A = this chain, B = another copy of it.
């Protein structure tokens, strides 16, 4: 458990968390959402997706969230962002801003 600052996130992890920040979703929906959020640049393979989900659940950044009003027979497992996951996501956005600021600074100087 890192009470310390969050480690740099990979693009996949970042986009998955961002996806879920918009609301609970199940795996397949996350895949499409990530492609959408990245303008098609990032196409998650199922290996990456479900591997990441397992890891994120384990780290307590996301959690199972099965909607009460869902009664379809189709196999679907929804997930939502936890408080910890939201903090990680926002910390990551701050890190990206710092990285960009450094870029601007170097290019200007």
A18 — which chain B residues lie within 8 A by C-beta? 102-103, 106
A98 — which chain B residues lie within 8 A by C-beta? 38-39, 41
Identical copies in the complex: 2
Name the contact of A100 in the complex, choosing from B15, B97, B103 (C-beta under 8 A).
Answer: B97
A96 — which chain B residues lie within 8 A by C-beta? 96, 99-100, 103
Chain A: interface secondary structure?
helix
Residues of A bordering B, CB below 8 Å: 4-5, 8, 10-11, 14-15, 18, 21-22, 37-39, 41, 89, 93, 95-100, 102-103, 106-107, 109
Given A96-B100, A96-B103, A97-B100, 7 extra CB contacts under 8 A: A8-B10, A14-B99, A15-B99, A18-B106, A37-B106, A38-B102, A96-B99
